[in-house]
Amino acid sequence: MTDPLAHHDAALRTPDTVARYGFSVPFELVVHSTRDAFAPDNDCLTRVMTAPSGKPARALVYLDEGVVRSIPDLPRRIHAWFAANEARGVQLAAVPDIVSGGEVAKGDLAILDRVGRAAFDHKICRHSYVVIVGGGAVLDAVGCAASLVHRGLRQIRLPTTVLGQCDAGLGVKNGLNRFGAKNFFGTFTPPAAIINDARFLESLDERSWRAGISEAVKVAIIKDAPFLDELIQSAPALAARDMPAMERLIARCATLHLEHITQGGDPFEHGSSRPLDFGHWSAHRLEVITNHKLMHGEAVAIGVAIDSLYAVEIGRLTRDEVDGILGCLHTCGFRLWHEALDLKDVSGRRSVLTGLEQFREHLGGELTLAMPDGLGRRRDITSFDEAAFERALAALRRWRRRASTEHPQSSRQS
């Protein structure tokens, strides 16, 4: 029997509807390269700080403690620079704040309140600037805080390490570590400008000078074979702190990162592929399980070595090609092994392998790892063979033993 009301109900039901309103927002990454940004007559900052008409462009300034330790008169020079440039419409809103440098900067959420409080007390508006001078960790931590205040203050980054100038400072990401996971919190917030000031590189200690080289090797392996050759050739000069060689490395590495972010089609990483994270699944995990005794760049050198040897196992690179990569990293002074690689969890599995799960979760459930496909090319993998990984680790252990007897390094990371 038919329901006499059925026709009536169907007529009353509002049909489901979907409406789509597309929009896109153009972004631009503006990168200045200079020397001595806080010399009174240097106009890089005034060129990037613009304010609503008739009002000065105000700035809160955050300084990495490690930078200030090496350059004690930096706060005074920043005061002097703002004083000298006030007529050009810039104004220091408060005394520059000095924050702990290194991974401790990203270690808790205190930075959120610290930046928020200063913005509140000094009436910082969305047309004001947060100028961040520091290594990748301070850029990530203060950048994350600044991106939350009023839903995003304008950021100007002055990266002070090699890694900051060739990678961390250039992108659209920031982050804070939490629950034993790197960058668990964080936002995608393109900076208003980036100012790479070569003068900061002079005061780097040996480890921070070296750490960023691994990011250049990483990006060269998957994107630029001639650049990798150049890095192999210049490894002795880089190890000897040759500034022109380092400036060439930074320039090319920065270009490759910037091209990827701006032309790669996925600046905010909505997809699963993260080519710039080649070698990073184990690196992030090693940083955490060594309690950050390994710096990011040092862990990346090990991660790149492991994944390059894994690439041999799956037929993507030859042994000779990987010998070149490992030799380059070794000559630059990286230690390509860490005892933490042998740590096991309660189930007897290598702790470092948890990095794979964390990577998978971060990407949204599907594992996608960047892998070279011959030097200078990339083809992602979506499954991981733990037996091949074990063979790669064994090969790295053997390589390391041979290299340290045949070619002892003049300097070592601790």
Residues lying near ligand NAD in the complex (CB under 6 A): 64-67, 70, 101-103, 106, 134-138, 140, 160-161, 163-164, 167-168, 171, 173-174, 182, 200, 203-204, 208, 211, 295-297
Nearer to ligand NAD, 69 or 344 (CB): 69
In the complex, what is the shortest distance from the CB of residue 319 to ligand NAD, in angstroms, rounded to a whole number? 29
In the complex, what is the shortest distance from the CB of residue 75 to ligand NAD, in angstroms, rounded to a whole number? 14
From residue 130, give the alpha-carbon distance in Å to each of 21, 27, 41, 60.
33, 18, 21, 5
In the complex, what is the shortest distance from the CB of residue 166 to ligand NAD, in angstroms, rounded to a whole number? 9
Nearer to ligand NAD, 103 or 321 (CB): 103
Radius of gyration for the chain, computed over Cα atoms and rounded to the nearest angstrom: 24
In the complex, what is the shortest distance from the CB of residue 141 to ligand NAD, in angstroms, rounded to a whole number? 8
Query: What's the N-to-C CA distance of the chain in angstroms?
Result: 84
Nearer to ligand NAD, 171 or 303 (CB): 171
- Tokens 């990569």 label which residue? 325
209 with 298: CB under 8 angstroms? Answer: no
In the complex, what is the shortest distance from the CB of residue 298 to ligand NAD, in angstroms, rounded to a whole number? 9
Nearer to ligand NAD, 174 or 308 (CB): 174
Distance CA 407, CA 409 (A): 6
Nearer to ligand NAD, 210 or 248 (CB): 210
Rounded to 5°, the CA angle 322-328-330 comes to 100
Nearer to ligand NAD, 199 or 377 (CB): 199
In the complex, what is the shortest distance from the CB of residue 398 to ligand NAD, in angstroms, rounded to a whole number? 29
In the complex, what is the shortest distance from the CB of residue 128 to ligand NAD, in angstroms, rounded to a whole number? 22
Work out the widest C-alpha separation in the chain, in whole angstroms: 92
Nearer to ligand NAD, 103 or 307 (CB): 103
In the complex, what is the shortest distance from the CB of residue 350 to ligand NAD, in angstroms, rounded to a whole number? 22
Nearer to ligand NAD, 56 or 102 (CB): 102
In the complex, what is the shortest distance from the CB of residue 383 to ligand NAD, in angstroms, rounded to a whole number? 26
Nearer to ligand NAD, 188 or 384 (CB): 188
Nearer to ligand NAD, 65 or 229 (CB): 65
In the complex, what is the shortest distance from the CB of residue 371 to ligand NAD, in angstroms, rounded to a whole number? 19
